[in-house]
Amino acid sequence: MKRLVFVTLSAVMLSSCSYYNKPVTMQEKVDAAWAQVQNQYQRRADLIPNLVETVKGYAKHESQTLEGVIEARARATQVVISPEKLDEASIKKFQAAQSEVSSALGRLMAIAENYPDLKANQNFLELQAQLEGTENRIAVERRNFNDATREYNAYIRRFPNNIFAGMFGFEKKAYFEAEPGAEKAPEVKF
């Protein structure tokens, strides 16, 4: 009888460990994916001062746009979210700040079209290529983050995992969402 109780308790303990360890591992994967998202956004933020300085030499009277890029970068780098606070409001705040940087960079690149010498500048071309590559990396890391988050959220919501997740305090994480208006294709007119 004692042996049966011991075996049963051991089985319950091992099962509980599994129900705890699996979401811990998945949560770590989400946290690591979040860190990669932040790394890529930081890479973009690090490129901006060099890009602005390069453009500044050619487009001196475009100071308002250049200052807008610098200010958007400064605001975006101030929005820091720890992996423990990956709720919907935090993600939206982070995404809004990064969207502001993207918009400012778009205006900066549009200005470059007006300066043929700038468009031919090797330093500018290299920075532009690095920025384009970083934007692609950001998209990949955001997708990886959403994939890891989806797996984690699905796991902690399934029965009986949801019981243990609730007991151990595992909470649903938020996703990156498409920018407002992304569902509409841009209109091209010739």
Query: Residue 126 domain-assigned?
Result: yes
Q: CB–CB of 55/124 below 8 Å?
A: yes
Cα–Cα distance for residue pair 75/89, rounded to 1 Å: 17
| 79 inside domain | yes
Looking at residue 108, its pLDDT comes to 87
d(CA 39, CA 47): 12
- Asked whether the whole model's pTM tops 0.85, one would answer no
Domain that holds residue 77: 25-164
For residue 188, being part of any structural domain is answered with no
Select from 177, 178, 174 the least CA-distant residue to 148. Answer: 174
- Do the domain assignments include residue 14? no
Could you list the pLDDT tens digit for every one of the 190 residues in the chain? 767 665 666 666 666 666 788 889 999 999 999 999 999 999 999 999 988 888 887 777 778 888 889 999 999 999 988 888 888 999 999 999 999 999 999 888 888 888 888 878 888 889 889 999 999 999 999 999 999 999 999 999 999 888 888 888 899 999 988 766 554 544 534 3
- d(CA 101, CA 152) in angstroms, rounded, equals 30
Whole-number Å distance between alpha carbons of 187 and 55 = 28
Q: Looking at the domain assignment, is residue 32 inside a domain? A: yes
- Report the pLDDT value the prediction gives residue 164, as an integer from 0 to 100: 85
Q: CB under 8 Å to 16, separation ≥6 — which residues?
A: 164
pLDDT for 17 equals 64
Q: Domain count of the chain?
A: 1
